[in-house]
A = this chain, B = another copy of it.
Amino acid sequence: MAKQDRAIRTRQSILEAAAVVFDERGYDAATITEILARAEVTKGALYFHFASKEELALAVIDAQMMTDMPAAEPGRASKMQELVDMGMIFAHRLLVDPLLRGSVRLTLEHGSTNLNRSGPFHGWTELHTRVLAEGKERGEVLPHVVPADTAELIVGAYAGINTMSQAINNRADLERRATILYEHVMPSVAVPSVLARLDMAPGRGARALAEAERQRLRAAEAEAALEAAPAGVG
């Protein structure tokens, strides 16, 4: 393994360990000692990558926006399906990805220090605004919709059903709650013909990821075939 690869992996281990500790304890109660123990790295290695607990927390928060989202999946029925998929995939990932869970906890609670946790709110809002504006250009969106307002509403409401689901049953029903959110909001956003074909049902996150994976495989096979062909012919 090259030196740079190793550094990237160490950084990732620290980030994931920190996310788990932040998720369990919250920002205030989390300690560098506990993060070190979980990451199984030296203090020197940690401080090489992150100067402070705050810097570590900000990196965990940022990781939320870096998740590999199959946003431009060409097979998607509509921009509005892309909008719904952002939330449905997020709900699915939150159950399986500790890094995302740590990031979400830091974002949703302000703690006693002034950790700037507005980043993901702005990031997700921008992403939603863009998809809504593109949907509007394509005629998928009702004329009275203001993309930035609807974007902020969906992002804020989503954060809330997440908090509520976490408070009530440790997120066991988050997907169902996300479905109910979209069922209530999308009729005020999408034109009827697009609305009728939206998949907003629980399990959509896993289905969208599987579909993206199939497309990636098909694309890779097509590329391999293309590369193999001249050799076979020539």
Interface residues, chain A, with chain B CB atoms under 8 Å away: 25-26, 28-29, 105, 107-112, 117-118, 121-122, 149-150, 152-153, 155-168, 177, 180-181, 183-185, 187-189
Instruction: List 18 interface pairs A-B (beta carbons < 8 Å), by A numbering.
Output: A26-B109, A28-B29, A28-B111, A108-B163, A117-B167, A121-B168, A152-B177, A153-B177, A153-B184, A156-B181, A160-B160, A160-B161, A160-B163, A184-B188, A184-B189, A185-B188, A187-B188, A188-B188
Known: A26-B109, A149-B180, A187-B187. A164 touches B155 (CB 8 A): yes
Q: How far is the CA of A180 from the CA of B148 in the complex (A)?
A: 11
How many identical chains are in the complex?
2
A108–B108 CB distance below 8 A: yes
Most B-side CB within 10 Å, residue of A155, A161, A167, A168:
A167
Picked from B28, B121, B122, the residue with its CB within 8 Å of the CB of A112 is B28
Picked from B109, B121, B185, the residue with its CB within 8 Å of the CB of A108 is B109
Q: How far is the CA of A153 from the CA of B159 in the complex (A)?
A: 12
A29–B112 CB distance below 8 A: yes
Q: Chain B residues near A121: list those with CB within 8 A.
A: 164, 167-168
Nearest 4 CB-CB pairings of A with B: A160-B160, A157-B157, A109-B109, A29-B112
Report the nearest B residue to A116, measured CB to CB: B167
Picked from B111, B157, B158, the residue with its CB within 8 Å of the CB of A26 is B111
Q: Chain B residues near A112: list those with CB within 8 A.
A: 25-26, 28-29
Q: Chain B residues near A167: list those with CB within 8 A.
A: 107, 110, 117-118, 121
Picked from B109, B117, B180, B187, the residue with its CB within 8 Å of the CB of A110 is B109
A157–B161 CB distance below 8 A: yes
Question: Closest Cβ of chain B: how far from A193's Cβ, in Å?
Answer: 17
Q: Chain B residues near A168: list those with CB within 8 A.
A: 118, 121-122
Query: 17 other contacts beyond A110-B167, A159-B164, A187-B188, with CB at 8 A cut-off?
Result: A108-B108, A109-B109, A118-B167, A122-B168, A150-B184, A152-B177, A152-B180, A153-B177, A153-B184, A156-B157, A156-B165, A156-B177, A157-B181, A163-B163, A184-B184, A184-B188, A184-B189
